[in-house]
Amino acid sequence: GILQHPDGTVLKQLQPPPRGPREQEFYNKVYDSDCCDSILLELREYLPKYFGVWSPPTAPNDTYLKLEDVTRKFNKPCIMDVKIGQKSYDPYASAEKIQQQVSKYPLMEEIGFLVLGMRVYHVSSDSYETQNQHYGRSLTKETVKDGISKFFHSGYCLRKDVVAASIQKVEKILEWFEGQTQLNFYASSLLFVYEGSCQATTVRLSDVTLAEKRRVPKGLLSGGDVLEYNNNIHVINSTENGKIEASVSKGLSKFYALHKKACSKRHHSQLSLKVENSEQDNVWKSSTCITQEHLNGNVLPQLEKVFYHMPAETKESANVEVRMIDFAHVFPSNTKDEGYIYGLKNLITVLQNILDN
């Protein structure tokens, strides 16, 4: 299984040869610091970040791939693993291996993908529903749409915002495959992750993490100044000496928004985040500063999502990740990966049908 490293990454134990070394070689090639191949550089966007290999001090012969935890930024992560391609065996598989893989899911060649499992948070019951690989193998051409749509259902409604965002992410991966003839992927998967709690918002900056769970009562934002919070707020600010962590626990109920002047005037160098504990008679306040140097890219629009309520139905509010994983069967090629492309196109068609119907 996947293990959690204390630094927030995940550890995937290297499989026995030749699969493990082949996957390690794939990651090393894509994340080589000297890599200047535009195809591989773009591929990084669709993979978990790779941090090399790691071995525990107590078992130096055990090797793990150290990878980004794609689920880490989510409060209630909904996760689905979908194997992509018409073949789940590689060109060097034995006749016995081919027969074994085909018998597991005979429809793989026709459908082009297989749901290996899903874990969905239901807001209505505040619980997770889990489906294993047997669920995916029970899906037919006629039932696969309804089978996958379960992943996007919150218990209250179909999360069409998540479906739409997922389609866009898969389409970007399809574009990459349409433009490359270097690699063919077998038995590789797409990992889908989205935020199951409509009250949760997470924004990650270059060296500041602000994660909070919010509940916005109707009418509270009439003045545009105060948001109501019902859980702990976590602020991490890294400094020259390492990371200073300031956390405020469940007693907090109010979180003051950014001063509008700080957002609107470029010459302001700091944004102040203030926290007030209203459950105690005395007011306890904590603040941290973000310099303008770190407000690069689209950080300000992201911050506005935290401080000003946005309807959950809008596509922009859908926090979705789609990453390629599992590379024990990746091989050099000089042709397009037609099997993987077929699977991606079929998956997009199913997702689009879920969205339209």
Predicted local distance difference test score (pLDDT) of residue 287: 33
Please report which confidence band the pLDDT of residue 214 belongs to, taking 50, 70 and 90 as the band edges.
very low
Q: Which of 68-77, 206-215, 283-292 has the highest mean pLDDT?
A: 68-77
pLDDT exceeds cutoff 50 at 132: yes
CA distance 182 to 186: 14
Backbone angles phi, psi at 190, to 5 degrees: -105, 130
Q: What is the mean pLDDT of residues 79-91?
A: 97
CA distance 256 to 276: 8
Task: Provide the total of helices (H) and of strands (E) in the chain, helices listed first.
Answer: 10, 19
The domains located in the chain, with CATH, are 1-69 (no CATH), 70-198+318-356 (3.30.470.160)
Question: For 266-285, what is each residue's pLDDT tens digit?
Answer: 333 333 333 333 333 333 33
Please report which confidence band the pLDDT of residue 199 belongs to, taking 50, 70 and 90 as the band edges.
low
Q: What is the mean pLDDT of residues 1-19?
A: 95
Bigger pLDDT: 305 vs 197: 197
Is the sign of the CA dihedral 234, 324, 148, 104 positive or negative? negative
Q: What is the mean pLDDT of residues 33-40?
A: 98
Question: For 307-352, what is each residue's pLDDT tens digit?
Answer: 333 334 444 457 999 999 999 999 999 999 999 999 999 999 999 9
Residue 319 carries which DSSP code? Answer: -
pLDDT exceeds cutoff 50 at 52: yes
Predicted local distance difference test score (pLDDT) of residue 309: 36
Report in angstroms the alpha-carbon separations of 123 from 78, 120, 126, 153, 159: 11, 10, 5, 10, 12
pLDDT exceeds cutoff 80 at 65: yes
pLDDT averaged over every residue in the chain:
77
Please report which confidence band the pLDDT of residue 32 belongs to, taking 50, 70 and 90 as the band edges.
very high
